[in-house]
Amino acid sequence: MALQSYRIEREPYYRPTGDEIALFEAAHADRMPVMLKGPTGCGKTRFIEHMAWRLGRPLVTVACNEDLTASDLVGRHLLETQGTVWQDGPLTLAVRHGALCYLDEIVEARADTTVVIHPLTDERRALPLDKRNELVAAHPDFQLVVAYNPGYQSVAKDLKESTKQRFAALEFGYPAAGIEADIVAHESGIEPALARRVVAVGERSRNLRGRGLEEGASTRMLIHAGRLIARGVAPEAACRMAVVLPLTDDPDLRDALAAAVGACF
Amino acid sequence: MESGVALADAERRLKAYVAALWGIDPPLRPLPQDGDPAAMRPRFDDALVRLPAVWPGMDLYRAALAHVGAHRMFSRPWPARGLKPLLILVVSLFEDARVEHLAMRRLPGLRRLWAPFHRTEPSASLMAADLMERMARALFDPAYRDGNAWVDKGQRLFFERPDRWDDPDFSLMLGGTLAGDLGKMRVQINARGHRVEPPYRDDNGGLWLHDTPPEPPRDVDDPLDAVRPDRIEAEQSDRRDGPPRSLPRPAPFAVADAAAMQPVARHPEWDHRIGLHRPDFVRVVECVPERRPMSDAPDDRRLTSRVHALIRHAVVARPERLRRQREGDRLDLDACIAAAVARCQGHAPDMQVYQRVRRRGRDLSALLLLDASQSTNDPAGDGTVLDLERRSADLLAGALDAAGDRFALAGFRSDGREAVQWLPVKRFGDAYDEAARGRLAGLDGRWSTRMGAAIRHAGSLLAGQPTLRRLLLLVTDGEPSDIDCPDPRHLVEDARKAVQELAGRGIDVVCVALGGDPGTHHHIFGRRNVLAVDRVERLPGLLPAIYAKLTG
């Protein structure tokens, strides 16, 4: 009951690209901690929402940042007229009541914060709350899922080996052109033939990855372009607004990408 | 000529364009400038695309590259031996149309790019060149009606079978038929002087394999050559792949005196053939570069201040929350609660109930290692590659020194396994002062690149640093090589092993590649640890940005 608002009522659209649903279900059956790796906007968060819905579990999501402390995850004491009361943090909530706890962009969190999940991710399956002198045994339905983008080229942002090795991992990438076109058509409501053209724009930008662009257009960007087109914007203008301009400030690359967009329609 | 676009100005945009369209990045080179630029046609082969140095507009360049890219995707060269020139011309015509239609299936917008160049109109002319140009248009545009029987036949046969466009032999077959017809019409043709129309199409040289390839235009007198480091890379890459052809010149050392040059360490070297280290195989000698006055290249004030701001920001703008402070800008909730609980219980509360955010220093040491081998004397920008390395290092070091990051700066080169030279410019404990800048100015490029030994030596220096993060940033313009290693793979595998050894000790190794083979760099450093700089001239601005990003 405590997690009623964390339940997902309607099926989130997710188009599988391989056997990731079966793999995740197997990992979930064993409550194995799972790590989702992949570039930005390729569908990691959507996947976990879909799986939470499919498995009928509530989903507690925490977007990690570098100022996230252990007590932001675990909980803290609050003051009331009668004295202090303990307020569970999102992680404790999921552990107590049996939810999927999804830590998005886990590498952004500080190393001392990430270690609080260690006892939850091995045989102990328990969360010690040292401030309360309590050991919360995980609910049988609790499962921990983390996500991160391994493309960050920052030596300061990498998971510790001791954290990494606690997880099974699923790798996500941008889907194959046909599947991606289905996704763009479904999410934006444009015609499949047009969606294929938008996906071709995405491929053009991904060709520039490592040749000036750090990352090509994500599926999310392409959906944005599709939505603009569905609102009546001309395809080239929509791609310029949703793909070319956000991706780069380099005038040469912009020019090249805009010309390549022109070739797609 | 005056109102044209110069290839040199547009090159970066065009390279990105062809990469975006087709995922290929062939080097672009100017054609030698002789004769009428309007008569020049692009030319390509496996390695290069040559384009006129000046052309009327960007769209012409783009159309040419889209067309050449389509050939690279969909054509495969045929042997030309024994074929009549006329047959070659007509087959090429069909092949051009075939690959363009395949390209337009994928990227329909290309039609708008190419169509404006197909301007020829129906006429009664029976000149071969005119017929061919009209055929080119008829094969491009199914709605075009020519009226000439030969052109109409070609158009009909071509558009009857779009299902066969995937097959290169289709061009051969149709070309053979139509060339036969043209021969029977006794049309005079000047095959050698024939000019392909429309102008964006290449001269078909890349479509045919000649036993003795037509002499590629030599452009030694091209003034742009002097400032193109990557052309040297592409055309003389053999110099770096294997051992240098010419033995190092017995030049005097660039050191102050003999005492400054002393062996400091021996390191093992990995032999991939036996899967073992050869112990103590390489000797590292330290030679402090002679101090020279820093070059009087004008200081770019704006760049300097931008770099300083960037590094300062990266170094200090990392917030840290300080809890339980006597004063601060926010209440520390946990401390407040503890204080309130203590008061309820009748104890004296701890009044340190504030929190504040402080900018904190970083737990990081970085070693910037510069390649100082012979190849860094190659021209780049206004000077040499090494000049640019020096200028970038000076900018970065100045900013790091001002911001207070722990760093060291050194160069390396090798002359066989007994003489891997380590050229310290600034050690971790030292300040980056005029003496250090003088040593940096004294770095000169000579000899070879025994990378593994340099990486191991850098690792031994970094391992002694008391910080959590340790970073080796290696700037190189080539690949490992040395005079006593005929097998190019040996030093590559050794460098790869050295990188792995450092990673095992918790030292990150990142390579800033100014050239050389990306595949080799990826193999040595791992794909995500290689940052390729496509224009060496931009290094001074990029290197600090790379550093800030890596450590931010």
pLDDT digits (tens, 9 = 90+) for A5-39: 999 999 999 999 999 999 999 999 999 999 999 98
Q: Which of B207, B213, B169, B170 is nearest to B77 (CA)?
A: B207
Residues B336, B284, single domain; the answer is: no
Residues B423, B505, single domain; the answer is: yes
Longest dimension (CA), chain A: 70
Residue of chain A whose alpha carbon sits nearest to that of B14: A256
Residues B456, B503, single domain; the answer is: yes
Banded model confidence at residue B220, pLDDT cuts 50, 70, 90: very low
Distances (CA, A) of B333 to A116, A220, B330, B341: 21, 38, 9, 12
N- to C-terminal Cα distance for chain B?
Answer: 48
Q: For residues A161 and B329, what is the distance between their CA atoms, to the nearest angstrom?
A: 37
- pLDDT tens for B29-66 read 888 877 676 778 898 888 889 999 888 889 999 999 99
Judge whether B304 lies within some domain: yes
Q: What's residue B313's pLDDT?
A: 64
Q: What's residue B305's pLDDT?
A: 74
Judge whether B547 lies within some domain: yes
Taking CB atoms and an 8 Å limit, are A155 and B106 in contact across chains? no
Number of domains, chain B? 3
The yes-or-no verdict on residue B359 having pLDDT over 80 is no
Of the two residues A247 and B515, the one the predictor is more confident about is: A247
Judge whether B486 lies within some domain: yes
Taking CB atoms and an 8 Å limit, are A256 and B20 in contact across chains? yes
Taking CB atoms and an 8 Å limit, are A150 and B528 in contact across chains? yes
Q: Domain end: B176, B194, B209, which one?
A: B209
Residues B23, B125, single domain; the answer is: yes
- pLDDT tens for B299-335 read 666 777 777 776 666 655 556 778 888 877 778 888 8
Residues B160, B294, single domain; the answer is: no
Q: Which of A203, A202, A210 is nearest to A238 (CA)?
A: A202
Helix (H, G, I), strand (E, B) or coil at A62: strand
Residues B282, B383, single domain; the answer is: yes
Judge whether B251 lies within some domain: no
Q: What's residue B231's pLDDT?
A: 37
What are the residues of chain A with a beta carbon less than 8 Å away from any beta carbon of chain B? 66-67, 69, 71, 76-79, 83-84, 150-151, 153-156, 197, 200, 204-205, 207-208, 210-212, 252-253, 255-257, 259-265
Residues B372, B444, single domain; the answer is: yes
Residues B199, B264, single domain; the answer is: no
Q: Domain end: B209, B232, B250, which one?
A: B209
Judge whether B229 lies within some domain: no
Judge whether B342 lies within some domain: yes
Least reliable range by pLDDT among A177-181, B172-176, B333-337: B333-337
The yes-or-no verdict on residue B298 having pLDDT over 60 is no
Q: Which of A199, A211, A213 is nearest to A264 (CA)?
A: A199
Taking CB atoms and an 8 Å limit, are A153 and B23 in contact across chains? no
Domain that holds residue B489: 258-312+362-551
The amino acid present at B453, given as its one-letter code, is A
What CATH number should be reported for the domain holding residue B368? 3.40.50.410
Longest dimension (CA), chain B: 117
* A5 Cβ neighbours under 8 A, 6+ residues apart: none
Judge whether B12 lies within some domain: yes
Banded model confidence at residue A157, pLDDT cuts 50, 70, 90: low
Banded model confidence at residue B228, pLDDT cuts 50, 70, 90: very low
| Percentage above 70 pLDDT, chain B | 85
Residues B533, B516, single domain; the answer is: yes
- B76 CA to centre of own chain: 26
Is B99 in contact with B74 (CB distance < 8 Å)? yes
Q: For residues B342 and A261, what is the distance between their CA atoms, to the nearest angstrom?
A: 66
* A233 Cβ neighbours under 8 A, 6+ residues apart: A241
Give the CA-trace dihedral at B226, B229, B235, B237, to 10 degrees.
140
Residues B179, B103, single domain; the answer is: yes
Q: Domain end: B178, B209, B240, which one?
A: B209
Residue A76: burial class (beta carbons within 10 Å; 0-12, 13-18, 19+) = middle
Question: Contacts of residue A79 in chain B, CB cutoff 8 Å?
Answer: 336-337, 340
Taking CB atoms and an 8 Å limit, are A83 and B321 in contact across chains? no
The yes-or-no verdict on residue B160 having pLDDT over 50 is yes
Judge whether B232 lies within some domain: no
Residue of chain A whose alpha carbon sits nearest to that of B549: A154
Mean pLDDT for the stretch of residues A34-61: 93
Mean pLDDT for the stretch of residues B185-201: 81
Q: Which of B21, B324, B512 to mutate to test the interface with A (most CBs of A within 10 A)?
A: B21
* A192 Cβ neighbours under 8 A, 6+ residues apart: A181, A182, A185
Residues B437, B395, single domain; the answer is: yes
Residues B342, B406, single domain; the answer is: no
Question: Contacts of residue A200 in chain B, CB cutoff 8 Å?
Answer: 106-107
Q: For residues A220 and A226, what is the distance between their CA atoms, to the nearest angstrom?
A: 10
Q: What's residue A94's pLDDT?
A: 95
| Percentage above 90 pLDDT, chain B | 16
Banded model confidence at residue B208, pLDDT cuts 50, 70, 90: confident
